[in-house]
Structure 1
């Protein structure tokens, strides 16, 4: 799931997944963090989900995917567009 909050000149994007699907550590990786899996790991939240927040320039478009344990890459079904990667428009 994706949540967006508009801020002055930026958009705060929260990438959210269930706590146990998939199991193990998961990171959101994309052009906004140079595809670095260590940059934005999803962290547990009190509501039973896990999430990572990224602040992106407003009115921009970015490619991303999730990377889970075992080199398992997957897309976000709620992304704005899919072209081999998930895409989000801020």
Structure 2
């Protein structure tokens, strides 16, 4: 898994690209604070090499809890900026700082 951040000079947003190698998966989405944990519209596109990839524009100077939803199962990104306990979910979420 990988996270790439590209800060734009023209506006206060960061283009964040999520890459998830998941050859066997049928669907991968990124859900988190930035999309109200809704997988609709946050699906990643499957590339020929089996990696799922997608880019989102997120407002800067924020931190966002997020997780990947891979075929209905949640997982964290090992390259997250940090992890934070989420009482509602009863687990740790990955955190992205932009």
Look up the match of 1:33: 35
CA distance in 2, matches of 1:33, 1:16: 18
User: What displacement does 1:48 show?
Assistant: 4.7
Q: Helix, strand or coil: the match of 2:26?
A: coil
Structure 1 residues without counterparts, runs of 5 or longer: none
User: TM-score if structure 2 supplies the norm length?
Assistant: 0.81
Q: How many residues align?
A: 88
Q: How well do the aligned residues superpose, as a CA RMSD in angstroms?
A: 1.5
Look up the match of 2:74: 73
Contact 1:45 1:51 in 2 (8 A): yes
Look up the match of 1:59: 61
Q: Helix, strand or coil: the match of 2:34?
A: helix
User: TM-score if structure 1 supplies the norm length?
Assistant: 0.88
CA distance in 2, matches of 1:19, 1:10: 28
Q: Helix, strand or coil: the match of 2:66?
A: strand
User: What displacement does 1:68 show?
Assistant: 1.4
Q: Which has the larger Rg?
A: 2
Q: Are residue 18 (structure 1) and residue 21 (structure 2) matched?
A: yes
Q: Which runs of 4+ in 1 moved over 4 A?
A: none
Contact 2:28 2:52 in 1 (8 A): no
Structure 2 residues without counterparts, runs of 5 or longer: 85-91
User: What displacement does 1:18 show?
Assistant: 1.3
